[in-house]
C-alpha cells in the first residue's frame, strides 16, 4: 500500500507509512516534520473518517512550531495489518489496544510525549484513555464532538446495563426505531454501506451532509434521559427507522446538485479521497470499534480505572449544530463536572455540525492554538 499522493494534500503535509507498529503498518499524515525536536501534537480521527480529516489543521499547527501527526487508525484507510472480517478476532480493536497503537506510533516517531492529544468523534476514546492512563505522555487533551464521561463503573455480574432495555422500547414506538450504534454492530451494516445502491461516494456525501450544519434541521438540545421517547427526538442518523439501513437513512437527505457544488468545506475532490479509501476497504474496520463498545466485552480492563479522573488541562470543541454532544444524555455534564478535573471551557462553534474541524477549521485552529498557549 502506497501513501496518499502529494497531489491531494495541502502544501507542507506529507504522507508516509511506518511499519511494524503493534502489528500494523501505520499510514500517517504529518506537518512540521522538517525540523527535528519540535513538540508533538497528535490528532485522532473518528468514523467514517481517516487522517485526511485533519488536512486543514495540520498546516496551522506546523506553522505554530509543532510536529503535527495524524494517523489512519486501526481499521481505517491505508493502515494495514488489521482483520477486515466480521468474524475475525475482535480483541485487537479493544480500546486499550487502540491506545497501544498510538503509543507505538509516537515511539516510532521518536516522541516520548505530546503537548496535546486531540480526538474527534470515536477518536475521543483513545485520546481520553491516553490522558487518563498516561498523563506523563499525553500532557493536554482536546476532545471534539464526543464527550468522555469517564471509565465504566465496576458492576456486579451478571451485568445488566441500562442499554439492555432500550432496543425493545425503541422498536415499540409508534414510529419503530433502532439505535445506530447497535445497528453498526450487526453483520449486515458493512455490506449495507459498502454495497449501497447509490454507491460509496454518494453514500458518504449524504452522510457528511446529514450530520453537518448544512442540514438545517440539526438544532440539538439536551435530552431529559435515556428513554426511547427522548432518544427518538434525535435525527435518524442516530435513532434510525427500524426497517432502514444507514444507506437508506441518509439517502433520504441527499443534498441537491447545487448544494454539492456549493460545498466549500468538503469538495467533490476531497470527498473522493474518502470514498476511494472506503470503496477499497469497506467499513468493517471502523465498525469493529462500535462492536467493542456495544458488547462491553472489554469493559473489565477499563474498570481498573473506575473513579480515576482526567487531570491534565483539557478543553472541548464541537459544532453548535452537532447532536453528538447530547446523544448520551448527561455525558457532557459528567465530562466537565466529574470526569475531567481541568476542563474549564466548552466551545460550541457557529456554522458547524459534527465535522467541526472540516466545517470551521479557522475557528478550530484558533481555539487549539489558544489552548496550547494558555493551558
What are the tens digits of pLDDT across the range 72-130?
A: 999 999 999 999 999 999 999 999 999 999 999 999 999 999 999 999 999 999 999 99
Instruction: Give CA–CA dist 93/287, Å, rounded.
Output: 10
Three-state SS string across the chain, please? CCCCCHHHCCCCEEEEEEEEECCEEEEEEEECCCCCCCCEEEEECCCCCCHHHHCCCHHHHHHCCCEEEEECCCCCCCCECCCCCCCCCCHHHCHHHHHHHHHHHHHHCCCCCECEEEEEHHHHHHHHHHHHHCCCCECCEEEECCCCCCCCCCCCCCCCCHHHHHHHHHHCCCCCEEEHHHHHCCCCHHHHHHCCCCHHHHHHHHHHHHCCCCCCCCCCCCCCCCCHHHHCCCCCCCEEECCCCHHHHHHCCCCCHHHHHCCCCCCHHHHHHHHHHHHHHCCHHHHHHHHHHHHCCCHHHHHCCCCCCECCCEEEEEECCCHHHCCCCCHHHHHHHHHECCEEEEEEECCCCCCHHHHCHHHHHHHHHHHHHHC
Q: Note whether 85 and 140 are same-domain residues.
A: yes
Q: Please indicate, yes or no, if residue 292 is contained in any of the structural domains.
A: no
What is the pLDDT at residue 159? Answer: 53
- Whether 294 maps to a domain, the answer reads no
Same domain, 206 and 226: yes
Q: Residue 1 falls within a domain, yes or no?
A: no
C-beta of residue 71 within 8 angstroms of C-beta of residue 51: yes
Grid coordinates belonging to 219: 438544532
Indicate whether 57 and 137 sit together in one domain: yes
* Count: domains in the chain: 2
Same domain, 136 and 169: no
- Residues 121, 150: one domain? yes
* CB-based burial label for 23 (10 Å; 0-12, 13-18, 19+): middle
pLDDT at 363: 98
Could you report the per-residue pLDDT of 308-341, keeping only the tens digit for each? 999 999 999 999 999 999 999 999 999 999 999 9
Same domain flag for 144 and 13: yes
Domain stop point among 241, 262, 287: 287
Compute φ and ψ for 40, nearest 5 degrees.
-100, 150
Beta-bridge partners for 71? 28
Q: Check if the beta carbon of residue 3 is closer than 8 Å to that of residue 78.
A: yes
Residue finishing a domain among 256, 287, 318: 287
Instruction: Report if pTM > 0.95.
Output: yes
| Domain of residue 203, residue span | 162-287
CA 343 vs CA 117, 309, 314, 334: distances in Å? 14, 11, 5, 11
Distance CA 242, CA 229 (A): 15
Asked if residue 144 has a cis previous peptide bond (ω within 30° of 0), the answer is no
Q: Is 73 exposed, middle or buried (0-12, 13-18, 19+ CB in 10 A)?
A: buried
pLDDT < 50 regions, the chain: none
Q: How long is the chain?
A: 375
pLDDT of residue 151: 94
111 and 68 both lie in a single domain = yes
- Asked which of 287, 312, 341 is the last residue of a domain, the reply is 287
Amino acid at each position: 500500500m502506497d501513501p496518499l499522493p502529494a497531489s491531494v494534500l495541502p502544501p507542507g503535509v506529507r504522507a508516509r507509512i511506518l511499519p511494524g507498529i503493534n502489528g500494523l503498518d501505520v499510514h500517517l499524515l504529518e506537518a512540521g516534520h522538517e525540523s527535528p525536536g519540535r513538540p508533538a501534537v497528535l490528532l485522532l480521527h473518528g468514523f467514517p473518517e481517516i487522517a485526511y480529516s485533519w488536512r486543514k489543521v495540520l498546516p496551522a499547527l506546523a506553522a505554530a512550531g509543532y510536529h503535527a501527526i495524524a494517523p489512519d487508525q486501526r481499521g481505517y484507510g491505508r493502515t494495514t495489518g488489521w482483520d477486515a472480517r466480521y468474524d475475525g478476532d475482535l480483541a485487537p480493536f479493544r480500546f486499550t489496544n487502540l491506545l497501544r497503537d498510538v503509543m507505538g506510533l509516537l515511539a516510532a516517531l521518536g516522541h516520548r510525549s505530546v503537548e496535546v492529544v486531540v480526538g474527534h468523534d470515536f477518536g475521543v476514546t483513545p485520546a481520553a484513555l491516553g490522558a487518563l492512563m498516561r498523563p506523563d505522555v499525553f500532557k493536554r487533551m482536546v476532545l471534539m464532538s464526543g464527550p468522555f464521561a469517564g471509565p465504566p463503573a465496576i458492576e456486579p455480574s451478571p451485568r445488566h446495563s441500562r442499554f439492555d432495555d432500550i432496543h425493545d422500547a425503541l422498536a415499540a414506538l409508534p414510529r419503530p426505531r433502532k439505535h445506530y450504534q447497535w445497528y453498526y454492530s450487526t453483520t449486515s451494516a458493512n455490506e449495507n454501506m459498502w454495497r449501497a445502491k447509490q454507491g460509496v461516494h454518494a453514500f458518504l456525501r449524504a452522510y457528511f451532509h446529514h450530520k453537518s450544519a448544512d442540514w438545517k434541521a440539526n438544532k440539538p438540545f439536551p435530552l431529559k434521559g435515556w428513554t426511547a421517547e427522548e432518544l427518538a427526538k434525535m435525527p435518524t442518523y442516530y435513532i434510525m427507522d427500524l426497517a432502514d439501513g444507514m444507506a437508506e437513512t441518509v439517502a433520504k437527505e441527499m443534498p441537491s446538485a447545487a448544494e454539492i457544488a456549493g460545498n466549500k468545506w468538503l469538495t467533490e475532490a476531497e470527498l473522493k479521497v474518502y470514498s476511494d479509501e472506503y470503496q477499497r476497504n469497506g467499513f468493517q474496520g471502523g465498525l469493529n470499534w462500535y462492536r467493542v463498545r456495544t458488547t462491553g466485552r472489554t469493559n473489565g480492563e477499563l474498570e481498573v480505572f473506575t473513579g480515576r479522573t482526567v487531570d491534565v488541562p483539557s478543553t472541548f470543541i464541537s459544532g453548535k449544530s452537532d447532536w453528538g454532544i447530547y446523544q448520551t444524555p448527561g455525558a457532557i455534564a459528567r465530562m466537565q463536572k466529574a470526569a475531567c478535573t481541568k476542563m474549564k471551557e466548552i466551545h460550541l462553534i457557529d456554522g458547524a455540525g459534527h465535522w467541526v474541524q472540516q466545517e470551521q477549521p479557522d475557528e478550530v485552529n484558533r481555539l487549539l492554538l489558544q489552548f496550547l498557549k494558555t493551558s
